[in-house]
Structure formats: C-alpha cells, structure tokens
C-alpha cells in the first residue's frame, strides 16, 4: 500500500505536488469514491480516476531537452503559447521536472516518473544545477562570495552554492558568471543577482547532476538512457 498522491505521480498523470492539489479539491476518485485525504493509501489494483480519466500504469519515459528561450515550461498554456511538451512527440503524458523561465534556455528533464521528479526537485537531495548568467556590470570577488554563501530573497536566505566569474567584457561592461545551486525557488537565480544590484541579461542552465547538453542544439531532445536513470537514482540515495 502506498500514498495516493505517490501512486498518481508514479502512473505519470502529474507531479506528486499537483496530485495533492487534485486530492484536496475533490477531483480524485478511488474505486468510485471521492478521496480528499492526503494520507489515504491505495494498492496497484485500485482504480484511480481524475476528472473522469482512469489512470493506467504507463511505461516510464525519460527525456532531456535543450529548452530554447521563448517556450513555456508547462504541460499547457492558457494563452496557447508553445510549451516544452510540444517539442517532444510522445503520446505518453509527461511533465517537466522543475521549471525554466520563458526567457531562460538550457537543460530540462521531462518524464512520467513521479518518484524521480519529486526526488530531483527536493532541496534536501542537493542535486547540483549549473547556470551560466550574463549580467550587466562587473561581478566583484566579494559579490561572488556572497552568491556562494547565500543571498536573502523573498525574506529567506538561499542555500550555499558556488559562483565563479568566467569572463568580464570591459567594452560592454558585462560579466559571465557560473552559478551552481541545488534549490529551485521561483526565479531564484535572477533574484539572487538582482539582490546584489545586477540585471540578468541572459540565463542558461547547462547541467543537472551529471547530465548536460552535450550533442544537442537548442530545441533538440534525446531520451535519457536506463543507465543514466539508474545513476540519477543512485545520486539521490547518496544524499
């Protein structure tokens, strides 16, 4: 027996967090009965239905996408803008692991494996996310240290990370900074720089854990191999 929200996520319908929202809103039925308790447990034989859709056990799929700028990180968009789901031709219901802003490019994982999604986005597992930001102005050594030690955003200090200056262009007065963090708070990287007085001109996520964008061009994707999935799970267990 497992918690209902975990089973929903594992069947590839949505993330565990989203599943909890569906349960609390009374949109989930188990064997015909509406369930609103987050602690409810079910087994594999139970019929689970959300908004009239019976959830089947689909094979797990894993993708690595080089997200371009100007694409929404969502399964659908009310304004009918193009989403990351539109870039991967699969009939399986997959969803993005975490988010990248509309104007941010880089690596994004998509899957219907709810357990892996939940583990990768949880800060306690400390999965490194490598960003490269182009910002206006010279990022001083003291500010690089502050970025590494944590910046207060939205009233809460970010966890420790690593920051280094890759390049400074005197002509354009812009800095290229690599920032490694393991959190995924809303607009976190931009807010960290803005908190120190820097305007982010361009932002790209280059790596998640050991996975990177090698061999891919913007807008392209590839399947994550079974071996890579196993390594991801082993990295999570280490933390």
**Both structure tokens of 10:** 């594992």
Residue found under tokens 């986005």: 121
- State the helix-helix crossing angle for 114-121 and 226-238, rounded to 10 degrees: 50
State CA 175 to chain mean position distance: 26
Catalytic pick among 101, 113, 154, 169: 101
SS3 150: coil
How large is the C-alpha radius of gyration of the chain? 20
Q: Among this protein's residues, is 101 annotated catalytic?
A: yes
Do residues 34 and 26 lie in contact, with contact meaning Cβ atoms separated by under 8 Å? Answer: yes
Do residues 40 and 3 lie in contact, with contact meaning Cβ atoms separated by under 8 Å? Answer: yes
**Both structure tokens of 129:** 């996310």
CB atoms within 10 A of CB 140: 12
- Closest listed residue to residue 196, CA positions, set 172, 177, 171, 168: 177
Do residues 177 and 70 lie in contact, with contact meaning Cβ atoms separated by under 8 Å? Answer: no
The β-bridge partners of 108 are 65
Helix (H) or strand (E) holding 223: strand 221-223
As annotated, the active-site residues are 101
């Amino acid at each position: 027996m497992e918690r209902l929200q975990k089973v929903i996520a594992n069947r590839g319908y949505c993330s565990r967090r989203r599943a909890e929202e569906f349960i609390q809103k009374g949109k989930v039925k188990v064997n015909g009965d509406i369930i609103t308790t987050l602690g409810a447990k079910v087994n594999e034989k139970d019929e689970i239905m959300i908004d009239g859709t019976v959830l089947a056990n689909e094979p797990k799929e894993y993708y690595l996408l080089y997200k371009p700028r100007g694409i929404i990180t969502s399964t659908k968009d009310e304004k009918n803008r193009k989403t990351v789901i539109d870039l991967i031709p699969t009939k399986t219901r997959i969803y993005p692991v975490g988010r990248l802003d509309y104007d941010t490019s880089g690596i994004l994982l998509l899957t219907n494996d709810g357990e892996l999604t939940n583990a990768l986005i949880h800060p306690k597992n400390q999965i490194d996310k490598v960003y490269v930001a182009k910002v206006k102005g010279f990022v001083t050594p003291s500010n690089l240290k502050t970025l590494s030690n944590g910046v207060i955003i939205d009233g809460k200090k970010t966890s420790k990370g690593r920051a280094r200056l890759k390049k400074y262009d005197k002509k354009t007065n812009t800095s290229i900074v690599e920032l490694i963090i393991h959190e995924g708070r809303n607009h976190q990287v931009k807010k960290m720089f803005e908190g120190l007085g820097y305007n982010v001109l361009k932002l790209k996520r280059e790596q998640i854990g050991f996975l990177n964008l090698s061999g891919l061009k913007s807008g392209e994707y590839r399947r994550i191999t079974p071996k890579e999935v196993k390594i991801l799970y082993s990295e999570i267990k280490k933390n």
